[in-house]
Chains A and B, each alone.
Chain A
Amino acid sequence: MNNLDIKKELVKMLGQDKVLTNDLDLMYYSYDSSFLTKLQPVTPTAVVLPASTAEVQKVVRFAYEHNINIIPRGAGTGETGGCIAVEGGIVFDLSRWREIVEIDVNNMQVVVRPGVIHADLNDELAKYNMFFPPDPGSSKMCTIGGMVANNASGLRAVKYWTTEPYVLGLEVVTPTGDVIITGGQQARCIKNVSGLNLTKLMVGSEGVLGIITQIRLRCFPRPKARGIAMAVFDHLDDAPATVLEVYQAGVLPSGIEILDASAIKAVNDFKPDIKLPDAEAILLFEVDGNPPGVEYDGQVIKEVAERRARQVEWSTDKKRMAELWEGRSITAAAAARVRADGSRIFAGEDISVPISKVAEALRAIRALGDKYGIQVVNYGHIGDGNVHCAPVINPENPEEVEKVEKLVDEIHRLAIDMNGSTTGEHGVGVARRGYAVLEHGPAVEYMKKVKAAFDPKGIMNPGKLF
């Protein structure tokens, strides 16, 4: 079937307002936040904007029948090219499907459609004193569907872990056009070990097994209090050492974040009001819970951190906490500010290493940056060993692009060598598929077999993961 006929059929199925067919409109779906699509955007054959399971199913069945690739997409904030039609096909933009189907207060869970924005969901849950704990830096723009597909986590994974443990069940349109419900068709329970755990399989599968059309999430009681400690260090090595010492003192913060000197500069440049002190490294500890517990934990952190830090600030003031936490959450995009003619790129940005090796990893990344003459802004979730590094380059300078590609490759290999992973939370997509065998060995073949069982024709988001 040629592209023109595909578009005509899609319009027949969904109506003109739910299908983008104009070449110009399609170009806008050629990118996500990855460096690779910035260098090489790839335009899909068509884009559909479905808003019901029946509509998704209709298009998937059509695609299956005619061997057309299908690619699910949320807000397009991913960093790996995971939602790009790299081998052509129909992109499903699910970001307009923003329905919170049900807030089941009595069972502490919520049922949503994939396009709901993370921050919007938590705003709504707050009315019931509940929350969905994972907290990606992109909370205000990423979709729950995208979070589930990538098993996203973020700033509070130290205590609350990733998206995966909160997903109780999913409705999925499989690549053959079936609709299945994982986690029990009628289930409303929280614990459930019945059957093969397809929910767990789907979470983090990056859209290669099916299209997630509904999500049942477990919610937690919303903590009543919060506090943030900021510790300022003159020596980088003191930061990870302090993290360990805080754990050893019996405190599990909800988040522990690190900013290195260049990240501090970027944040101050973007939001001068935050006034982060100049330093080799800053640690931000967030604790949450009941007010006396928060205060207690805060004091312990302060006491422990003061052994190594030049300065420690403990705050429960709402405005100050919002500033500090915002400072961290905007680092990702603000990193570019360290160089007037530069842009941060999302490549090699998400390695995960054992917490005992964080300091070594940070030093090694710095050395690699020096080796290639590229400034690398380091920040990330030091509490769980997930380091985000942002190379800052001029992406329009081919020499710098060539150098940064080598740098990124070395960073990925470094992570594997250090008993870590090439990605802690952003996913593999296209960007890291080349490391699959190095990371997983013969297990990759079994991953392929699992995919083939769901997707016999290989139409489901091809060119990703492995």
Chain B
Amino acid sequence: MEFRELPPVKEQLMKCVRCGKCRELCPVFAEIGIESAAPRGHVFMVQMLRDGKVEPSPEVYERLGQCLMCETCSANCPSGIAVHELNAAARAYLSEKNPSRGKDLIFEHFWTKPEMMKHSIKLASLAQRLGLQKLARNVGLTRLLPGDLKDAEKILDNIPLRSARSQLPGYTPAVGTSKYRVGYFLGCGTDFLNPEIAQATVEVLSRNGCEVVIPQGLKCCGLPHMANGKLDVTRQLTVHNIKLFDSLNVDYIITDCGSCSATLSQKNLEFVLAGTPHQAEGQAFAAKVMDLTVFLIDVLDIQMDFETDQKWRVTYHDPCHLVNAQGITEQPRELLRRIPGVELVEMPHAASCCGGSGTYSVTHHQVSMQILDKKMANAISTGAEIIATCCPSCIMQLSFGCKRNDWDAEVVHPVVLLQRAYKKALTTA
């Protein structure tokens, strides 16, 4: 669909009254402080692009690219504008007008094929282990990542050698009677960076009466592509994944990654699939998608009638794609509260962004770190020993934040804590 015809561009641009509410909510604007970094500034610039008042130049992309797509503005806009959709639409238009071979290579070829991704991450991981970062850099391997490699290396520390998919079966039966047949949307971040989350997810689901299917050939949810001006690739990936799940006959499609569930939500798919013949199947697919914590609390209502001798002081960080994109705040907390041994301590501004946002911490390192430092100060003030959160990108960023602040805390997904609690159970009811 042509840029100007995309629903947000066509319908929402004119709704912005430039009230400026978004200025003070935006984590990036808080650091940069000039109007070109404000969400309403982005809306204005998208309008200028649409009206042909500015050329679709790389400089415009640079301004719009300052946004880390946390959706805080969209969630709070009194006029109901999906600012991030406008931004994504404009990035796609700008990318089309300013093709970049490097970007095409990454987002059209490399990050659309799980095998390619796996091999490259393996290589990067091996290189890290052997201290061969320099070599990797020289042969151009890590150049595939956008931005400054030196920073990427720091953040992408300790990449696991084996992905989750290489360790998990395609089908795991339910323990006891099967209540639901669940498709597991195993996202890239979980798969490659946090395979322990995937293991915990499968184990917890199975233990609580779910058959778990991990489809062969599952591809990325498409968020990195959407954020990097490759909306058409997001569309292709989405259609592929919809068709893949269509044949599996599952009751729910569960993901432990807040970004995946946000990208696959009904609202986002309405945007991604606009103008395609796939809207109806997209909505039917999205209706089944659910965040893991919501599923565990709202659908399964899991109870933990046992005790452990563990004591975990835990603080919870709201991933933007759960809190802003989907309004999910209570279920992850409730899950944590139900885990025996967990003491949940709220941090101030738990819902403010950590500055990670996928590749943003690499492409906009300085701003990302400034945002992170504020987050860490809030987290540290709780005296917690564990930060729980539901997004691999947040986990990566917050783990780096702990290191950066010499804070010996662990960052985990709640489901990993749950799995640990099961292992430590002293008595079962």
A-B complex is real: yes
Q: Which residues of A contact B11 (CB under 8 A)?
A: 341
Q: How far is the CB of B43 from chain A (nearest CB, A)?
A: 10
Closest to B37 in A: A28
Closest to B21 in A: A141
CB pair B44 A394 closer than 8 Å: no
How far, in angstroms, from A345 to B34 measured CA to CA in the complex? Answer: 24
Q: Which residues of A contact B33 (CB under 8 A)?
A: 49, 95-96
Q: Which of B24, B41, B80 has the most CB of A within 10 A?
A: B24
Q: Which residues of B contact A406 (CB under 8 A)?
A: none
How far, in angstroms, from A38 to B11 measured CA to CA in the complex? Answer: 16
CB pair B36 A28 closer than 8 Å: yes
Closest to B55 in A: A24
Taking the complex as formed, is B15 at the interface, i.e. its CB lies under 8 A from any CB of chain A? Answer: yes
Taking the complex as formed, is A76 at the interface, i.e. its CB lies under 8 A from any CB of chain B? Answer: yes
Which of the candidate stretches A171-179, A248-256, A327-335 sits at the interface with the other chain? A327-335
Contact with A along B28-62 (1 / 0, CB 8 A): 00000111101001001100100000100001100
A75's partner among B20, B36, B59 (CB-CB below 8 A) is B20
Given that A75-B23, A93-B34 are contacting pairs, would A32 and B18 also be in contact in the complex, using a CB cutoff of 8 Å? yes
CB pair B17 A25 closer than 8 Å: no
Taking the complex as formed, is B248 at the interface, i.e. its CB lies under 8 A from any CB of chain A? Answer: no
How far, in angstroms, from A49 to B36 measured CA to CA in the complex? Answer: 13
CB pair A333 B19 closer than 8 Å: yes
Contact with B along A25-44 (1 / 0, CB 8 A): 10111011100011001000
How far, in angstroms, from A25 to B35 measured CA to CA in the complex? Answer: 8
Taking the complex as formed, is B146 at the interface, i.e. its CB lies under 8 A from any CB of chain A? Answer: no
Number of interface residues of A (CB under 8 A): 43
Taking the complex as formed, is A399 at the interface, i.e. its CB lies under 8 A from any CB of chain B? Answer: no
Taking the complex as formed, is A444 at the interface, i.e. its CB lies under 8 A from any CB of chain B? Answer: no
CB pair A394 B14 closer than 8 Å: yes
How far, in angstroms, from A386 to B157 measured CA to CA in the complex? Answer: 59
Closest to A30 in B: B44
Q: Which residues of A contact B18 (CB under 8 A)?
A: 31-33, 37-38, 76
Taking the complex as formed, is B169 at the interface, i.e. its CB lies under 8 A from any CB of chain A? Answer: no
CB pair B19 A27 closer than 8 Å: no
Given that A24-B59, A28-B45 are contacting pairs, would A332 and B78 also be in contact in the complex, using a CB cutoff of 8 Å? yes
Taking the complex as formed, is B79 at the interface, i.e. its CB lies under 8 A from any CB of chain A? Answer: yes
Closest to A97 in B: B33
Taking the complex as formed, is A415 at the interface, i.e. its CB lies under 8 A from any CB of chain B? Answer: no
Interface residues of A in 67-83 (CB under 8 A from B): 75-77
Taking the complex as formed, is B149 at the interface, i.e. its CB lies under 8 A from any CB of chain A? Answer: no
How far, in angstroms, from A334 to B16 measured CA to CA in the complex? Answer: 10
Q: Which residues of B contact A336 (CB under 8 A)?
A: 15, 17, 79-80
Q: Which residues of A contact B48 (CB under 8 A)?
A: 27
CB pair A33 B17 closer than 8 Å: yes
Taking the complex as formed, is B97 at the interface, i.e. its CB lies under 8 A from any CB of chain A? Answer: no
CB pair B24 A140 closer than 8 Å: yes
CB pair B16 A343 closer than 8 Å: yes
How far, in angstroms, from A348 to B23 measured CA to CA in the complex? Answer: 25
Given that A28-B36, A141-B24 are contacting pairs, would A343 and B59 also be in contact in the complex, using a CB cutoff of 8 Å? no
How far, in angstroms, from A336 to B19 measured CA to CA in the complex? Answer: 12
B79's partner among A31, A93, A140, A334 (CB-CB below 8 A) is A334
How far, in angstroms, from A76 to B40 measured CA to CA in the complex? Answer: 11
CB pair B44 A345 closer than 8 Å: no
How far, in angstroms, from A332 to B19 measured CA to CA in the complex? Answer: 9
Q: Which residues of B contact A119 (CB under 8 A)?
A: 24
Given that A28-B34, A28-B45, A33-B18 are contacting pairs, would A333 and B78 also be in contact in the complex, using a CB cutoff of 8 Å? yes
Interface residues of B in 55-83 (CB under 8 A from A): 59-60, 63, 77-80
Q: Which residues of A contact B38 (CB under 8 A)?
A: 28
CB pair A337 B24 closer than 8 Å: no
Q: Which residues of B contact A317 (CB under 8 A)?
A: none
CB pair B78 A334 closer than 8 Å: yes
CB pair B17 A346 closer than 8 Å: yes
CB pair A333 B79 closer than 8 Å: yes
Q: How far is the CB of B225 from chain A (nearest CB, A)?
A: 26
Taking the complex as formed, is A395 at the interface, i.e. its CB lies under 8 A from any CB of chain B? Answer: yes
Q: Which residues of B contact A346 (CB under 8 A)?
A: 17
Q: Which residues of B contact A315 (CB under 8 A)?
A: none
CB pair B80 A270 closer than 8 Å: yes
Q: How far is the CB of A96 from chain B (nearest CB, A)?
A: 4
How far, in angstroms, from A33 to B48 measured CA to CA in the complex? Answer: 16
How far, in angstroms, from A207 to B4 measured CA to CA in the complex? Answer: 39
How far, in angstroms, from A38 to B79 measured CA to CA in the complex? Answer: 15
Taking the complex as formed, is A381 at the interface, i.e. its CB lies under 8 A from any CB of chain B? Answer: no
Q: Which residues of A contact B60 (CB under 8 A)?
A: 24
Q: How far is the CB of A74 from chain B (nearest CB, A)?
A: 10
Closest to A33 in B: B18
Interface residues of B in 221-256 (CB under 8 A from A): none
Closest to A95 in B: B33
Taking the complex as formed, is A396 at the interface, i.e. its CB lies under 8 A from any CB of chain B? Answer: yes
B20's partner among A25, A76, A270, A343 (CB-CB below 8 A) is A76
CB pair B20 A28 closer than 8 Å: no
Q: Give the 10 A-B residue pairs with the shortest CB-CB distance, closest first.
A: A333-B78, A28-B35, A77-B20, A334-B78, A333-B19, A96-B33, A141-B20, A28-B36, A343-B15, A141-B24
Give me 5 other A-B pairs in contact (C-beta within 8 A), A96-B33, A138-B21 excluded: A28-B38, A75-B23, A93-B34, A334-B78, A343-B16
Residues in chain B within 8 A of chain A (CB atoms): 11, 14-21, 23-24, 33-36, 38, 41, 44-45, 48, 54, 59-60, 63, 77-80
Residues in chain A within 8 A of chain B (CB atoms): 20, 22, 24-25, 27-29, 31-33, 37-38, 41, 47, 49, 75-77, 93, 95-96, 117, 119, 138, 140-142, 270, 330, 332-334, 336-337, 341-346, 394-396
